[in-house]
Structure 1
Amino acid sequence: MDDLKFGTRDKRGNWRPNEALGSAPLFVWPWSISKFIRWLPGYFLPWNALFFAIAAVFWFFMTPARETMQDLTWGWPLYLLARNAALVIAFYGFLETRLYIKRRQGTSFKYNAKFPAEHPSDVFMFKSQNIDNIIRTFGTGLPIWTAYEVLLLWAWSNDVGPWAVFSLHPVWLIFVGLILPIFHEFHFYCIHRLIHTPLLYKWVHSVHHNSINPSPWSSLSMHPVEHLLYWSGTLIHLIVPSHPLLLLYHLQLSGTGAVVGHVGFDKLEAGEDSAVTTHAYAHYLHHKYFEVNYADGMMPLDRWMGTWHDGTPEGDQIMKERFRRKKARANAAKGTTPAE
């Protein structure tokens, strides 16, 4: 596909889409039913539907029996860890191999024209972004992901929490399933703003931001404290009536789904005239500029809080003006002027 039909490329080879980023019509006022209907298929397809399908396969075919999970032994948690690791290796590995090793698309639809492997850096272990990201993903990311899963499945198995069944509460559970991606983004925004506070950013979140030009393996490359906060949203299943299938779906949204925002490409080509949209641009801009787009854009949280960047040149100017005012306030607090 010709990516210049959909965006522009600067003199450095970096690509940006023509269309400005926007929030889901569900949250835009005045509300439009026609815009909502046109947007709705994209809410499910392809990503949320894929992650729900993975969760369903895990629940029906790859999760131990309830009786087994009533006791906290080593066997079934290690099995879940291996299952989750296999999924990440397959999904992340496929995208990394296709886009960054074999480079099947080259730089077509790639936001940053550079490839991380070509630019070693001392901020990473062994000066390699990929090696560093992989070590952090498997060293603490997957164990903490699985620990939350083990805790919550053990709670369900022992009737700890307000768990429900589809046969008795179908409408409620369908509703919960429909809004889980929205809740996940809201929770992500809240913890994301928290770890951007100076102390937590310096000692925790800066690890993730070392990957300024993210690739698939950057997705779960975090400090262990950030991993603990990142998956804490799944504890909602101990508060509101839910079902283990929805818990697994929630874990897929946050675990496997993290790769969507870090893939580094706006579209994944599926043929000469077809491609899958990633919706990764909002989060890419966060990695590039640090203080914009703390959420992924579906909810207008950043717009409400003044940290939204819509990806346009106009958005660049708004961001620069905000940074200028912030610097001026900091200088005023110190009793200095920019010239000093």
Structure 2
Amino acid sequence: MDDKDYGQEDARGHWAPDRPISYGPAFDWPPDPKRLVKWLFGFPGYFLPWNVFYAAMALVLWTWFSPGLETTKTLAPGWIAYLLVRNLILAVLVYGAWHLWLYSWKRQGTQFKYNRQFPKEKAPGFLFGNQTYDNMFHTLASGVPIWTAYEVLLLWAYANGWAPVVTFAESPVWFVAVFFLVPLIHEVGFYFCHRLLHFSPLYEIAHKLHHRNINPGPWSGLSMHPIEHLIYFSTILLFFLIPSHPVHMINLASRLGVSPAQGHTGFDRVVLGEEASFEASYYAHYLHHKYFEVNYADGMVPLDRWFGSFHDGTPEAHEAMKARRQRRST
């Protein structure tokens, strides 16, 4: 499998896919039922692989690795510490797996890598003089504890009647539907939180730390200032309003916690063999790290298109971005 069959390098040696970035057909008008069904049930599509994967992960975490609501009714160090350790292990496993395969072992070299350079081992602008160690520190010392704190708050709220609870037995259709609303909640929440973080004072105080990762790797995904972590994970608070089950909240929380690894691999695809590969990254988000002012979200809801910040990777989109810059400067 040769990445030259799927994209091309620019003058600086950066690789880009031939296909323009596009949204799924969920919001196309007029609707195209045939394309919508293919997108919903195809591979890759809306359900497979990633949304089903994160839903299944939430079921496993809730069923076997979470305290029950009878336990979480009272805040206690034991179950809170258990959740923190669980999330630390999950983060190390997920971020570590992506990093080992693509960056430590370099199993596919620079094939399908957007920026052909790997992060430098000595990087003075980062803690410990190393981008990866810096990213790991911010992820594990700030990101995972704040992620856990939001989970603790919601589990306590469910147990005490402060957040509306539904069960499969009481409302099976809504119970299943919420699993597939979670990706939409995730995406819309991320977009508005992200736009807020690009507001100048917040950017300088907090979000600038994340954007030091111009050439991101998996550990860059959750490498943020604590203020940004508080804002980023705040979407979980919507479950104070949305009738749901703790497993739905864990679905959203764990997606927010570990999906940034996938979104920051810096690789378009992971190659598993001569003909086998799967999508590893979001080119839209890589362009956000490259240009800062485009693609504040990526996925199925065309928020960037609606709000005029979309860059689909084509020369025409690049010219439109430069024109917007010129209008702002004048």
TM-score, with normalisation over the residues of structure 2?
0.96
Report Cα offsets for 1:51-91 as digits up to 9, x if no partner. 11111111111112322212111111111111111111111
Q: Gaps spanning 5+ residues in structure 2: where?
A: none
Mapped partners of 1:215, 1:70: distance in 2: 39
Mapped partners of 1:123, 1:185: distance in 2: 30
Mapped partners of 2:54, 2:266: distance in 1: 20
SS of 1:43's partner is coil
Mapped partners of 1:58, 1:169: distance in 2: 22
Is 2:231 the counterpart of 1:201? no
RMSD over aligned CA atoms reads 1.2
SS of 1:309's partner is coil
Instruction: Kindly provide the amino acid, as one letter, of the partner of residue 10 in structure 1.
Output: D
Q: Is the 8 A contact 1:111 1:264 kept in 2?
A: yes
Report Cα offsets for 1:133-178 as digits up to 9, x if no partner. 1110111100000000111111112222211111111111222211
1:16 paired residue number: 16
Q: Is the 8 A contact 1:192 1:294 kept in 2?
A: yes
Report Cα offsets for 1:284-317 as digits up to 9, x if no partner. 0000000000111421111111110001122211
Instruction: Kindly provide the amino acid, as one letter, of the partner of residue 257 in structure 1.
Output: S
1:333 paired residue number: none
Which of residues 291, 295, 314 in structure 2 aligns to 1:289? 291
Cα distance, 1:126 vs structure 2: 1.8
Mapped partners of 1:282, 1:307: distance in 2: 11
Report Cα offsets for 1:227-277 as digits up to 9, x if no partner. 011111111111111001111111122111111211111111122101111
Instruction: Kindly provide the amino acid, as one letter, of the partner of residue 9 in structure 1.
Output: E
Is 2:309 the counterpart of 1:314? no
Is 2:76 the counterpart of 1:89? no
Is 2:39 the counterpart of 1:58? no
Mapped partners of 2:324, 2:189: distance in 1: 25
1:48 paired residue number: 51
Which of residues 212, 221, 224 in structure 1 aligns to 2:223? 221
1:172 paired residue number: 174
2:75 paired residue number: 72
Instruction: Kindly provide the amino acid, as one letter, of the partner of residue 35 in structure 2.
Output: K
Q: Is the 8 A contact 1:51 1:256 kept in 2?
A: no
Mapped partners of 1:203, 1:66: distance in 2: 37
Instruction: Kindly provide the amino acid, as one letter, of the partner of residue 3 in structure 1.
Output: D
Runs of 4+ in 1 over 6 A off after TM superposition: none
Mapped partners of 2:20, 2:47: distance in 1: 21
1:38 paired residue number: 38
Mapped partners of 2:114, 2:258: distance in 1: 21
Q: Gaps spanning 5+ residues in structure 1: where?
A: 329-340
Q: Is the 8 A contact 1:117 1:130 kept in 2?
A: no
Cα distance, 1:279 vs structure 2: 4.6
SS of 1:31's partner is coil
SS of 1:44's partner is coil
Is 2:207 the counterpart of 1:182? no
Mapped partners of 1:259, 1:44: distance in 2: 19
TM-score, with normalisation over the residues of structure 1?
0.93
Which of residues 128, 131, 144 in structure 2 aligns to 1:129? 131
**Deviates further, 129-138 or 310-319:** 310-319
2:113 paired residue number: 110
1:299 paired residue number: 301
1:326 paired residue number: 328
Instruction: Kindly provide the amino acid, as one letter, of the partner of residue 71 in structure 1.
Output: T
Equivalences for residues 255-270 of structure 1 within 5 A? 255-270=257-272
Identity %: 48
SS of 1:283's partner is helix
Instruction: Kindly provide the amino acid, as one letter, of the partner of residue 22 in structure 1.
Output: S
Report Cα offsets for 1:20-48 as digits up to 9, x if no partner. 11112001212111111121131122221
SS of 1:276's partner is strand
Aligned length: 327
Q: Is the 8 A contact 1:8 1:15 kept in 2?
A: yes
Mapped partners of 1:325, 1:298: distance in 2: 29
Instruction: Kindly provide the amino acid, as one letter, of the partner of residue 324 in structure 1.
Output: Q
SS of 1:145's partner is helix
SS of 1:319's partner is helix
**Deviates further, 43-52 or 192-201:** 43-52
Instruction: Kindly provide the amino acid, as one letter, of the partner of residue 242 in structure 2.
Output: V
